[in-house]
Structure 1
Amino acid sequence: MTFDSPAWLFMLIPLPFLALLRVWSHVSTGKGGESLVSPRLRGELIVGAAQWLRWTVFSMNLLALAFLIIALARPEWGFVESETHSEGRNVIIALDTSRSMLATDLQPDRLTRAKLAAEDIVRTLPEDRIGLIAFAGRAFLQAPLTVDHDAIIESIDQLDTEIIPRGGTNLSAPVQMALETFEEAESEESALIIFSDGEDLEGGGEIVQDLKDKANELGMVIVAIGVGTETGSIIPEPDSKGNPQPGVFVTDESGQAVRSRLDPAALQKLSAESGAGVYLTLGGSVSITGVVEKSIASLAATRLEENISRRIPKERFMWPLSIAVFLWLLAFLLPASSRSLVRAFSGQTEALDVPPPLPVRAGKSIVAIIILTLPAGHFLSAVEVESTGYRALKRNDFDQAIANYQEELRQPETEEQARWMNLGLGAAAYKAGNFELAQESFGQVLASSGATPAEIGKAQYNIGNTLFRSGEVLLGWDRSKAEGIGGPPPIPDKNLRQQVREIWEKSVEHYEAAAEIDSSNPQTAKNIEAVKKHLEYLDQMDEQEKQQEEQEKEKEKEKKEEEEKEEEKEDEKEEEKEDQDQNDQNQDQQDQNQNQDPNQQNQDQDDKGEQEPQDQDGKGQDPQNQDQQDQNQDGKNDPQDQQNQDGKGQQ
């Protein structure tokens, strides 16, 4: 079994760690819950008593995710025999971007009309490999041969008169570059389509003659398309952004406005010497796309075509995808059905007002971050100065490119060349991950007194990219892992966040400066938005840390209040105990007073009884006579008492 997109399989690496994290979370939260509940009631009250259900659902979700990743990797096993044949031709479109292409004898101007016609040609050749060359005094390969026609059209849209640093028109330059490109592609049949106004100011006609034999050897057909009219028009003077300025025109040394006219002679000679070449005029009655398609179609007659038997692997991604969907559906339905089965077989009733899960400390939460990635750089044609450094940069040999650029910068021919070299050095250093050198090199362009607005805009943009990536590296965020695996980046400490925040704020400032110079680049606004989202993420981390600190302070405050309340309760208990002891002591004293020695009381009464009563004369009387006398005096005795007294007397 093989995989068509095996890079997706790296997404399987975090899954075991997710399982371990789930186990750790279960163990830590379980201990917290058990400590709050009595062992006798633990099985009834703790939420999640049916742990088997939770683990089953978690396992199903994890397996479903694994099968989904396998499906994205597009597994293949088995083969299907298929017969195919090679098709397609190699075609390069060359566009003249000299200032004369701003002439308005074709509306809105020659360059815009040529770009629209070139895009139409690309759309009529859906099966062919197409490349793009921009030329003026020099030629640059803007896009290599590719079947990605959307990229070609996007490259055509970005062409302007400022993209080539050297002015003028050299018709031999695109021919020479096209021949080199076709040789590298080992193309036997190819076509070159040139859009130009034909004003060969660089004297390349003689050089083109020297290229005739080589073009015929490679079987290259040249379709020359003249852009403009023979009457011509004056050329508007472009501003710093390459846009024509109303009422301002290009003048010659005497101050007269320069009138540019279509010069078809050089273009006709160029197409005629290529054998089956064709010359056309843009804006005429002839369909450009129809003639071009017909001219290129003749290449198919001489191109080698043979049927090839191929074994095409069978894609089986539907199997793991179906399993993933089934597991997710089962994980969704299982909890509700299992609760009903448990109640049916165990006789338990469904609990109402189930308590919420125990809170998890903030330090244990996981924050999933989607890293917003910025493009590696918007390095425009200014860095594409033909040199040993640039050739190494094209080969993606960035260390060698840095060394070559540094060597070339020791003795630059002109200040303008030094700025181009610094832009190239910054691009190479950026690609190599040497952001300090990249920032220094782009800064040299800004420090140059003769830098053009276009160069300043490119330097500002690339400094913004460099600062942003510097912040990522400082945080330890691995962009390859963030884009390929999707894992969350590490959360830095507060001081590191502040340092990165300052770097990213400077990045936004440079992006905004670049946007003021060149507002036509949509990527600048996207990068500004992306960096601001990263800054918002840092703010969210600060807010989360602040909330955690406040929660800790609140917990300390509550703990202190509880301790004070406990102390107050202890004091109240001590006071109550003292009061109770005092009351017990008083009660004991009363009991002692009431329970005196009975013998002592009787002795006291006997002492009183032995005292002989005296009459008024002070003489003693018989006690019986005294009692009788008292009764007679009172006259109030109760009959029963009287009887008792009589009885006593009788006794």
Structure 2
Amino acid sequence: MNFPVHDFHFLRPEWFAALLPLCLLILLIRQYRRSQSGWQSVIPSHLYKHLIAGKAVAGKQAPLSLLALCWFICVVALAGPVWERLPQPVFQVQEGHVVVIDMSLSMRATDVSPDRLTRAKYKAIDLINSIDEGETGLVAYAGDAFTISPLTADAGNLVALLPGLSPEIMPVAGSDPYRGIQEAADLLQNAGYQQGNIYWLTDGITLPQAQDLRSLISELPYTVNILGVGTEEGAPIRQLDGQLLKDQRGQIVIPKLRGQQLQNLAGASGGVYSKLSAGDSDIKRLTGRNLLHNNAEETGEQTSQDGDQWAELGPWLLLLILPFAAYAFRRGVVLTVLLIPLLAATPQPVFAQTGVPVKDGKPEAETPVTPWYETPFLNADQQGAKEYDAGNFDTAADIFKSAEWQGAAAYESGNYEQALDAFSRSDSTDAVYNQGNALAQLGKLDDAIARYDEVLKRDPEHADAKANKALLEQMKQKQEKQQQEQQNQQNQQQNQDQQDQNGDNQQPQDGQQGQNDENTGSDEQQQKDQSQSSGDQQQQGGEGEDQQSENRNEESQSPGQEQQNEQADGQEEENEDSESQSPAKAEEGDQQQQQNQSAQAQTGELTDEEKEKMQRLDNLMKKIPDDPAFLLKRKMQLEAQQRRRQGPPSNRSEW
């Protein structure tokens, strides 16, 4: 592993100034030691080292080199030597973006191919796709401004809405960029963004508009970047019908791009102005150099040094001082040895037990939570409370002396019989209420309801008792209803079996009765035929008389007309016969139709008539125009009606 020399540095290099006091301290100590003995003035210096300072002084005092080494190590540790970076989560600046596009009639000018509007839409799509972080919104303006899309991270939604925009769908004609910028700022502010970028695509403004916009943009906390669409020479505005737009005096309108005004406005907020280009240099300029990015570039190196997290090695250097510290406090070596066992008694991490320990086929007893040295100072209920808090409900139920606490522990452990017995030994309202809970768990609903009634007699405002009683009454009603339904089903089954047996016994008698019914039916049919034949004869005679009278009053009819009349009369008779059918036959027809529909639904097949209907519906759906611009137009019209602006806004141009 190679040592990264280029990354090695100190986080706090100012601590090295502490070496200056070390040098001064060493000089003072050496001078003090020399003047410590009075023999120095009597004995020559070359003999003084060997006679006095050699053993007596050096044997009792620590060498200065040891002090200097420890001091130096401490200073280096405090300076923070590092050379390895620690991984950190990436921080993303929370900022919003709003694209404001001009939809005035001047965008129909043809000084750029094919026109300003088409090129602005393409640039807006490239701009939206180049924004790779944060949320983006879309605002369009003409005589008024409208939010086409709120702030969203889905760039595809904005791209899908851009083709439907055009000056003709705007509810208010004209050009008011002030409201467009204000709408974008409100969109960012309502979303909670303290910083963001407004990208404005326009073909120019008037001089009065420039003054108002400059005061607005300078007060906004957002950066306004402007893309100028068009040329300084300008070109006529070609409308959809092919005619050129003219003013009130009949002269052709030629809008021109005033890039210097737009550049001044962008500079008021620290933004960037760029003119429309054939490549992507204009988009890169708008998105690559804004106020936030400039600040990041200026402080990039400082962030790399101060903001990064490094693995500091200074604490490890302190381990080198421990032997010297033990030497300095050698009189306390015995105390250090005594403290070593305490380090071994450090509490170990506790983990939840995944199952009950089993030994020889039987579960082992739970380890008491209360330490042995605390047991003499706690009563039984206090020990049981500790076990209860630790979740050892079985152990707590055995330790508790209080009946209510014992019942609560047994209830939590699922031993409802023991809980009911414990609660029964107390006559308090809570104990009676808990008796009802235990009885409900045991399935004794009537007894549980009786306990809740007793609680409500003592305390009519007991909300839990009311709720539990209502719940048990509902459960009881459901049980009774289920039992009644089961009883009805059993009775119906028994009746059906009995009817089947009776039907088998009466089968011969039914055969004889059927023969008698057939004979009777044949006699009735003969009588009916005779009466019908006589009626037909009478009807023919009546028709003959009527025909004679008609021949006297009117001209004779042709054979073809007579045949048509006879067919019409026969059809009317059939209709009358069909209307006179019995209700039973009509009901049978409805049932048959329902059965056919259900059979078709089960098989999943469609009849020819249904297929024809589906085909007609598909053809109608294809005739509906898929025009998203119409929806945008209606949306903006409704919004314009809700605003109800009184009179035209100030400084609004006509195109």
TM-score interval w.r.t. the shorter chain?
Answer: 0.3 to 0.5
The structure where strand makes up a greater share of residues is 1
Output the TM-score relative to the length of structure 1: 0.34
Output the TM-score relative to the length of structure 2: 0.34
